């Protein structure tokens, strides 16, 4: 490390100094007006920067191109204000272009972080996509002489199973009536979705089944219930099938 404490300013500002040099610089800071002014400027210029992500270095070739352009622009423009600052502080004339480069590199790192995060999120989304796998599909049988038709399909998706019930030629429910789907296990019924058909008598319901192994469903059935709060089947079975 350089023995000139004035050149430790950026490392101190960025928290890069170890305990001993940090204390030495703080002692120096109490006696050096130029360093105090430079530190105040750094604090003022960076207090409103929204560092919304952990610093991530962009590719080295990108950083070299950006920093090269920053230094070249500083050299060409030679703004009067910077010249006055350089004349005032002489030995610290390097601070302005370096500060601009550091701040710009920080913003560049944040932008690169966001782009990398978006790409990672997109890749993660792609990894979460799965191929649906058909487990079973059965035709639902209507009661004798009934015009109803239907089908029960079970699809494996994301390690879970979804059941899709489709029915047609259904009669419109009256009042609070609804069609209720039931799954049966050894004769015990479980609610598995409630629906009403459209004007054409078409109805559909989807239901997320419990994880595999919790139940061994053996029958699926549809009833016309007097209301949507039936805990057990009260109406007649209009469509059913073994699974």
Last residue of one domain, picked from the residues 99, 128, 157: 128
Give the HSE-up count for residue 201: Cα atoms under 13 Å, Cβ half-sphere. Answer: 8
Span 11-31, pLDDT tens digits: 888 888 888 888 888 998 889
Dist CA 112 CA 70 (whole Å): 18
Dist CA 10 CA 108 (whole Å): 18
Reading across the β-sheet that carries 188-195, which strands appear in turn? 188-195, 178-185, 219-225, 237-242, 133-142, 149-157, 160-168, 203-208
Asked if residue 145 and residue 110 are part of one domain, the reply reads: no
Asked if residue 144 and residue 185 are part of one domain, the reply reads: yes
Dist CA 235 CA 179 (whole Å): 9
Asked if residue 170 and residue 87 are part of one domain, the reply reads: no
Contact 241, 138 (CB under 8 A): yes
Asked if residue 12 and residue 105 are part of one domain, the reply reads: yes
Residues near 26 by beta carbon (within 8 Å), at least 6 away in sequence? 12
Q: Which tokens sit at 118?
A: 């978006």
Span 223-239, pLDDT tens digits: 999 999 988 898 888 89
pTM of the complete model beyond 0.85: no
Asked if residue 146 and residue 122 are part of one domain, the reply reads: no
CB count in 10 Å sphere of residue 96 = 18
CB count in 10 Å sphere of residue 154 = 19
Q: What percent of the chain has pLDDT over 90?
A: 21
Asked if residue 117 and residue 19 are part of one domain, the reply reads: yes
Ramachandran angles phi, psi of 171, nearest 5°: -80, 145
Contact 241, 141 (CB under 8 A): yes
Dist CA 63 CA 55 (whole Å): 14
Count of structural domains, the chain: 2
Q: Is the pLDDT of residue 125 over 70?
A: no
Dist CA 218 CA 209 (whole Å): 13
Last residue of one domain, picked from the residues 86, 111, 128: 128
Mean pLDDT of 61-79: 54
Asked if residue 188 and residue 175 are part of one domain, the reply reads: yes
Which of these, 23, 21, 45, lies nearest to 37 by C-alpha position? 45
Mean pLDDT of 60-67: 56
Give the HSE-up count for residue 143: Cα atoms under 13 Å, Cβ half-sphere. Answer: 9
Asked if residue 124 and residue 137 are part of one domain, the reply reads: no
Q: Is the pLDDT of residue 145 over 50?
A: yes
Asked if residue 76 and residue 145 are part of one domain, the reply reads: no
Dist CA 234 CA 151 (whole Å): 22
Mean pLDDT of 74-87: 47
Last residue of one domain, picked from the residues 110, 128, 146: 128
Asked if residue 173 and residue 73 are part of one domain, the reply reads: no
Identify the pLDDT of residue 21. 87
Residue 135's pLDDT band (cuts 50, 70, 90)? confident
The enclosing domain of 162 has a CATH number of: 2.60.40.200
Span 147-200, pLDDT tens digits: 888 999 988 877 788 889 999 999 999 999 999 999 998 889 999 899 999 998
Asked if residue 166 and residue 76 are part of one domain, the reply reads: no
Asked if residue 21 and residue 81 are part of one domain, the reply reads: yes
Domain that residue 146 falls in? 133-242
Identify the pLDDT of residue 105. 56
Going from the C-alpha of 155 to that of each of 52, 132, 198, 242, the distances in angstroms are: 41, 6, 24, 17
Span 83-108, pLDDT tens digits: 444 444 444 444 555 555 555 555 55
């Amino acid at each position: 490390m350089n023995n000139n404490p004035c050149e430790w300013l950026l490392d101190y500002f960025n928290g890069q100094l170890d305990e001993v040099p940090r204390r030495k610089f703080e002692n120096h800071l109490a006696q050096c007006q130029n360093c105090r002014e430079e530190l105040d400027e750094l604090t003022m210029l960076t207090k409103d920067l929204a560092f919304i992500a952990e610093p991530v270095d962009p590719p080295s070739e990108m950083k070299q191109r950006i920093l090269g352009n920053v230094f070249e622009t500083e050299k060409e423009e030679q703004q009067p204000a910077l010249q006055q600052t350089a004349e005032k502080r002489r030995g610290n004339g390097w601070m302005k272009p370096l500060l601009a480069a550091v701040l710009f590199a920080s913003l560049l790192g944040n932008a690169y972080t966001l782009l990398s995060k978006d790409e990672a999120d997109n890749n993660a989304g792609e990894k979460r996509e799965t191929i649906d796998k058909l487990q079973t599909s059965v035709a639902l049988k209507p009661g004798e002489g009934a015009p109803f038709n239907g089908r029960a399909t079970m699809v494996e998706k994301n390690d879970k199973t979804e059941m899709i019930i489709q029915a047609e030629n259904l009669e419109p429910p009256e009042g609070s009536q609804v069609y209720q789907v039931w799954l049966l296990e050894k004769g015990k019924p479980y609610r598995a979705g409630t629906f009403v058909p459209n004007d054409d008598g078409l109805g559909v319901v989807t239901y997320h089944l419990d994880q595999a192994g919790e139940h061994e469903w053996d029958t699926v059935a549809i009833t016309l219930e007097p209301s949507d709060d039936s805990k057990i089947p009260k109406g007649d079975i209009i469509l059913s099938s073994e699974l």
